[in-house]
A and B are shown apart, each in its own frame.
Chain A
Amino acid sequence: MAKKFLFVNRKAPYGTIYALESLEVVLISAAFEQEVSLVFMDDGVYELTRGQKTDGIGMKNFSPTYSALGDYEIKNIYIEKESLDARGLTLDDLQHLVWEDEDDDWAEKDSIHLISSKELAAVMDNQEVVITF
């Protein structure tokens, strides 16, 4: 029986390694056929911003990897609206992540779900394993 795994991202990218290494865990989790969800809240929402150019800081830009999540059937990506609002961001500032639904003639669908804190509470309540970084 697949377990419901939730990976929680609350930290900004590059200042620490958590964003990058958490993504590595999420990609590995795809091989285990569990019900995987991701949540980005607080500074975690910054992990998904478009236009990350890292040449100046000499670090690898790993943000393109997020677009691969759909290929691994990881499509339950929750973003807390309150966190975005507090930071003056909208979904347009973030990458547009999609997945292709095999059961719907490979129709492209949004992986990102913008939800309120209250809705997020319900999502989190429903999980079985929570992994934080």
Chain B
Amino acid sequence: MSTLHTINKSPFDRNSLGSCLRVISDSDAILLIEDGIYAATSGTIFSDVVKAAVQSHSVYVLGPDLSARGMKEGGIVEGVNVVDYEGFVDLVAEYDKTNSWL
């Protein structure tokens, strides 16, 4: 079974991203939403972690949440893909189940 992991909290606030990466399986993907989008921005102390994640998993970030927070699509970690809500829906359908890290 493949899993879409959603992360909605900033990595500076909560360790959801770290915990997710401890138990993620090879075929799983990550979608950063709400305050979780900050993990996708480049130049942070978490960028290396995200860069490493991108090597082995598909990592997505919700565009509308990036824009809302004034983060530019051009300023995100390379390899992270921007999706909108319809893309979010597609990901939920594509992966066998969704695990929302709260």
A–B direct touch in complex (beta carbons closer than 8 A)? yes
A117 at the interface (CB under 8 A from B): yes
Chain B, 51-102, CB within 8 A of any chain A CB: 96-102
Count of chain A to chain B residue pairs whose CB atoms are closer than 8 Å in the complex? 45
Contact of A117 among B22, B28, B99, B100 (CB under 8 A): B22
- Interface secondary structure of B, over-half rule: mixed
Chain B residues contacting A128 (CB-CB under 8 Å) are 1, 96-97
Closest residue to B23 on the A side, CB-wise?
Answer: A121
Closest residue to B101 on the A side, CB-wise?
Answer: A132
Q: Are A10 and B102 in contact (CB under 8 A)?
A: yes
Contact of A124 among B23, B98, B100 (CB under 8 A): B23
Contact of B1 among A10, A82, A120, A125 (CB under 8 A): A125
A84 at the interface (CB under 8 A from B): no
B44 at the interface (CB under 8 A from A): no
Give B29 Cβ to nearest chain A Cβ, in Å: 13
CA separation between A37 and B23, bound complex, in Å? 16
Closest residue to A119 on the B side, CB-wise?
Answer: B23
Chain B residues contacting A80 (CB-CB under 8 Å) are 22-23
Check A42/B25 contact, CB under 8 A, given A127-B97, A132-B101: no
Contact of A126 among B1, B15, B24, B28 (CB under 8 A): B1
Q: Are A42 and B15 in contact (CB under 8 A)?
A: yes
Closest residue to B21 on the A side, CB-wise?
Answer: A117
Q: Are B100 and A132 in contact (CB under 8 A)?
A: yes
Q: Are B22 and A125 in contact (CB under 8 A)?
A: no
A36 at the interface (CB under 8 A from B): no
* A residues whose Cβ falls under 8 Å from a Cβ of B: 8, 10, 41-42, 80, 82, 117, 120-122, 124-130, 132-133
